[in-house]
Amino acid sequence: MAQRTVIPFGPQHPVLPEPIQLKLTLKDEIVEEALPHIGYVHRGVEKAAERMDYTQNVFLVERICGICSFIHALCYCQGLERLMGLEVPRRAAYLRVIWSELHRLQSHHLWLGLYADAFGFESLFMEFWRSREMLMDIFEKTAGSRVIISACCIGGVRRDISDQHLQETLETLKMLEAAFDKSSEVMLNDYTVKKRTVGKGILPADKAILLGAAGPVLRASGVEQDARQTGFAAYDELRVEPVVETAGDCYARAKVRIRECRQSLDLVRRAIAGLPDTDIAVRPKGRPNGRTISRVEQPRGELLYFLAANGTQKLDRLRVRTPTFANVAPLVHMLPGCEVADVPVIVLSIDPCISCTER
């Protein structure tokens, strides 16, 4: 009779930059059950947002997650703009797309690197992170900061990107693409990498829908859904086709993200080419009142904010639903039946962002 063992995976683990704990029940080498324990990075942002001024909240929500900070701010500002009846100038909408897509690129590069590290391919990790530094340089140049760029504000964006910087961005992207071609080639075609990823952690389409998966995890299972199709910011003019794969395994999830990187590169270029010449922000007038829902697409999936305002400076309620939270249930479904050695790869394949999840 094989013995059952319970192994804690996390909260402090070399492949996880963030603390989450999975209690794995093993029978020999095979995982029978996985139980997530969370709460290590819970801060209480939603409550804090009720105590702060609604304009101050932009800086607070940006710090829900440092990897996709701009998109958090965008989602929040978009909701408030709807409540206050503000029309964002077109140039601001395009700039928002540019920064969002750069954040997506940055986040996917980060993930591809960490993922390579999870199956022990350290030089590939270094390759992706070296290219990622080019994107960080773009942020520093255009917004003044590397990680939390604080470029979004209620009514538009805080700063413009000059023509010279747009030109330099395009040139950097060219270099980035060349590097990306090389390293993504390894990720997709290397024999050893494929051995570690193909057929691991399969999530069928019906299960993905049932368990409420989001973003690349959902699209890798063959479901065509992307919040950018709703046409927020300037996505109504810069149409986006969702990237879909059908296999639903770790390999497909990596492939979706790699193809999304190409899509983002294309989107940034299209947005720069079509950048209209208008103001970059309108002044907010009055106070927000009423309730609304705001949806955007984060690198990890759909992000949803619910805002309830009451006509004063403070919000009644801010509710955040993040994509990783949606992807934890599919993860718990994927793990049983896999080998212990595959656990890091499968956990990373959903691109967990715990600080989003717990806020």
CA distance 156 to 276: 14
Among 8, 66, 204, 231, binds another protein (CB under 8 A): 66
Nearer to ligand SF4, 66 or 204 (CB): 66
Nearer to another protein, 19 or 120 (CB): 19
Nearer to another protein, 141 or 207 (CB): 141
Q: Hey, which residues between 63 and 82 contact ligand SF4 (CB under 6 A)?
A: 63, 66
Task: Report CA-CA distances (Å) from 55 to 29, 52, 181, 305, 313.
Answer: 52, 8, 41, 16, 8
Nearest distance from C-beta of residue 231 to ligand SF4, angstroms: 31
CA distance 283 to 108: 34
SS3 104: helix
Nearer to ligand SF4, 66 or 286 (CB): 66
Give buried/exposed letters for 179-203 (b at 16+ CB in 10 A, else e): bbeebbebbeeeeebeebbeebbbb
Candidates 62-70, 73-81, 265-273, 294-302 — which segment interacts with another protein by CB under 8 A? 62-70
SS3 9: strand
* Contact flag: residue 48 with ligand SF4 (CB under 6 A): no
Site string for ligand SF4, 233-262 (x = CB under 6 A): ------------------------------
Q: Hey, which residues between 335 and 354 contact ligand SF4 (CB under 6 A)?
A: none
Rounded to an integer, what is the distance from CA 4 to the centroid of its chain? 36
Q: Hey, which residues between 98 and 137 contact another protein (CB under 8 A)?
A: 110, 113, 125-126, 129-130, 132-133, 136
CA distance 319 to 298: 16
**Which residue from 159, 308, 297 is spatially nearest to 232, judged by alpha carbons?**
297
Contacts of 227 (CB under 8 A, 6+ apart): 295, 296, 297, 302, 303
Residues that bind ligand SF4 (rule: CB under 6 A) add up to a total of 4
Among 34, 60, 97, 151, binds another protein (CB under 8 A): 60
Q: HSE on the CB side for 241, CA within 13 Å?
A: 7
* DSSP for residue 52: S
| Two structure tokens written together for 347 | 């956990």
* Contact flag: residue 144 with ligand SF4 (CB under 6 A): no
Q: Which residues bind another protein (CB under 8 A)?
A: 11-14, 17-19, 39-45, 47-48, 51, 59-60, 63-67, 69, 110, 113, 125-126, 129-130, 132-133, 136, 146-148, 353, 355
Q: Which residues bind ligand SF4 (CB under 6 A)?
A: 63, 66, 147-148
